[in-house]
Amino acid sequence: MPQQDPHAPDATPASLGFRMPAEWEPHAATWLTWPHNLDSWPGKFEPVPDIWVRMVAALAPGERVEILVRDEAMRAAVEARLRATGVPAARRRLHVIPSNDAWMRDHGPTFVVRDHGDGRELGGIDWDYNAWGGKYPPFDLDATIAAQVCALTRARRFAPGIVLEGGSIEVNGRGTLLTTESCLLNRNRNPELSRAQIEGVLRDHLGVRHILWLGDGIVGDDTDGHIDDITRFVDASTVVTVLEDDPRDANHEPLRENAARLRELRDQDGRPLQIVELPMPAPVEFDGQRLPASYANFYIGNRVVLTPVFDDPNDARALATLQGCFPDREVVGIAAVDMVLGLGAFHCVTQQQPASMNRW
């Protein structure tokens, strides 16, 4: 079978052999954008940068951490904080790239890789970005970040021309992708595209061949239901999914319906998924607003799994459940009550760069 011409204008990542690795596959680095938008944490910003420091300190022993900062003054301030914390200079790099906010999962590139005889090549998918359906202007700076990170990493850049955020997709690295109807089919993203057309873009750009759809996300999630707050792959055939035990809670029914769907779904080889249940914390609120607190918004590093905890009785149960899923990594609980006021947690602010032959 003839190979796709890599220089052809219609060559897609999948046709060239690129795929999106699972998050637990080896990383070269984790990317972060340092927080600075006071409006994202109204009246509660002061403790937020300390959470980023804890993330960097936990990740650095296992991988390099690449951090975007707004300007040179922020670079100096962040360098000083990390140096005082003892994060080795060789395990962190700071880059001056202005941003509107800190949600790297959504404004950064989705990295893909291509394995070949000479090693592995890195690619980056530069999705269009509109701040979750135009909810939080301005987002002009954030919309340029993926292309800049691709340039920095020497990743081959692909631009599908559709709106999509990294938190809305979850892959097992073997050809299956999980997502939600409430987000990807929302009219505030790509109203001109059908479900079949969106699936085609995902297959063409992420190298997946099997797409699974869940329904709604959790209450308080301003992303219209990102998958990373509800259901995550923890290995090629196993997912963890959050369930709310209280039938009076607004999350009870939609999460029950998602779990019922999962029991009927199959992976790329036609096998049922193994399902592990995660609890939900008690409702976390601020000024009467329900926040999207979820243990599913964890991030899988090379050596650690960064997990949000909420000073809740279910914290220990969630940590123990995830530790059972990741026996080769340390599950690290980090207090996230202040962080989730910004309507996201650790998966939302991280982006994994897979190990590759790109010497950067």
CA distances to 24, 74, 258, 283, 314 from 244, in Å: 26, 40, 11, 10, 11
72-85 and 48-59 are packed helices; what angle lies between their axes, rounded to 10 degrees? 60
Q: Of 150, 183, 325, 348, which is the active-site residue?
A: 348
Asked if residue 308 lies in contact with residue 334, where contact means CB atoms within 8 angstroms, the answer is yes
Cα gap 211→102, rounded to integer Å: 29
**Residue 295 near residue 333 (C-beta atoms within 8 A):** no
183 catalytic? Reply is no
- Dihedral sign for Cα atoms in the order 355, 109, 299, 273: negative
Q: Which tokens go with 32? A: 């972060």
Other C-beta atoms within 10 Å of 303: how many? Answer: 16
Instruction: Return the active site residues.
Output: 348
